[in-house]
Structure 1
Amino acid sequence: MIKEIDLHRCDLVKELFELQKASYLVEAKLINFFDIPPLKETMEALKGCGELFLGYFEDTKLVGALSYTIEGEELTICRMVVDPTHFRKGIAQRLLEEVEKKNKDLNVIKVSTGKDNPPAKKLYLKNGYRLVGDVEVVPGLFISNFKKTPSKK
């Protein structure tokens, strides 16, 4: 089940905090860069990040989450995390579909991931995102930027 995550609920923030650490550690190993900001983030910073969160729950356990911001007609996906023990179950796909469905009137959706993160890049490409380009954000670390212009139905 997918539902919004209330960052005022300490129990959910703690689950989200642990989930993102586990998920981003896998990405850090893939891209060989361990200074990914969410890996260094405190629970207080997570609570105050200003992002909207969708959570994927199995029973009552949070096993996936997506966060985003909206500015004008543009949605930016900030985080996509899945519990590593639940990889390859379609959780990221369902979260992506849900955020798009909830925000179908927006003109642009943007997302970034590590250039050396094939599973994330494949997810975005198969869902109609186009690669805008790769940017070196710190020496030796490249981020792939994607953009989608949803069709209005």
Structure 2
Amino acid sequence: MIKLIDISNRNIANDVLSIQIPSYEVEAKIIGYSEIPPLKDSVDTLLKCEEIFFGYYENTELCGAISLKVDNNVANIHRLIVHPKHFRKGIAQLLLNFAISNFDVKKVEVATGSKNTPAVNFYLKNGFEKTKEVTVNEQLSLTFFEKKL
């Protein structure tokens, strides 16, 4: 089941962090860079992030989440995370579809590590187009995508 979750609730923020860290640890290994900002998040930074969160639950267990900000008919995805023990179950796809269908927007934007081949392929498969690539430092570049609706 997917539902809106209240990230301002400390217990829920802790639950989100408990899937965010392992999820981004996998990305860090894929891209060969362990200093990605989501790995530095804490419950306190999540409480203040001002993003809208939806969570995917199996019974009472949070298995995945998506967060975004919506402004001027544009949804910007900030996180799309699934706990590694729930990879390859279609949870990311369900979360993406749910989030996009719940907002009346003209465009969806997202960025991921350029070397994160599974994420890059996921967004391309879902009709996103690459808009730019930005080199952050010698170890990290980001690819930006958008999908017009």
Please tell me the TM-score bracket, short chain as reference. over 0.9
Matched-pair contact (CA < 8 Å) for 2:64–2:83: yes
TM-score by structure 2 length? 0.96
Tell me, in whole angstroms, the C-alpha distance in 1 between the residues paired with 2:126 and 2:83.
21
Structure 1 residue 11 displacement after superposition: 2.0
Letter in 1 for 2:116: N
2:136 is paired with a residue whose SS is: strand
Tell me, in whole angstroms, the C-alpha distance in 2 between the residues paired with 1:87 and 1:93.
11
TM-score by structure 1 length? 0.94
In the TM superposition, what whole-angstrom CA distance separates every residue of 1:130-153 from its partner, at most 9, and x where no partner exists?
111211022331111100001xxx
1:138 is paired with a residue whose SS is: coil
Tell me, in whole angstroms, the C-alpha distance in 1 between the residues paired with 2:133 and 2:148.
19
Letter in 2 for 1:122: N
Q: Which runs of 5+ in 2 are unaligned?
A: none
Report whether the alignment pairs 1:31 with 2:31. Answer: yes
1:124 matched residue in structure 2: 123
Percent identity for Structure 1 against Structure 2:
41
Structure 1 residue 49 displacement after superposition: 0.4
In the TM superposition, structure 1's runs of 4+ consecutive aligned residues that sit over 4 Å from their partners are none
Letter in 2 for 1:136: T
1:128 is paired with a residue whose SS is: coil
2:138 matched residue in structure 1: 139
Tell me, in whole angstroms, the C-alpha distance in 1 between the residues paired with 2:29 and 2:20.
14
After superposition, residues 1-153 of structure 1 pair within 5 angstroms as 1-103=1-103, 105-150=104-149
Matched-pair contact (CA < 8 Å) for 2:8–2:48: no
Structure 1 residue 72 displacement after superposition: 1.0
Letter in 2 for 1:33: Y
1:35 is paired with a residue whose SS is: coil
Structure 1 residue 8 displacement after superposition: 3.0
Letter in 1 for 2:15: E
Structure 1 residue 114 displacement after superposition: 0.6
Structure 1 residue 118 displacement after superposition: 1.2
2:120 is paired with a residue whose SS is: helix
2:141 is paired with a residue whose SS is: strand
Letter in 2 for 1:22: P
Computed over aligned residues only, the root mean square deviation of the Cα atoms, in angstroms, reads: 0.9
Tell me, in whole angstroms, the C-alpha distance in 2 between the residues paired with 1:4 and 1:138.
35
Aligned residues: 149
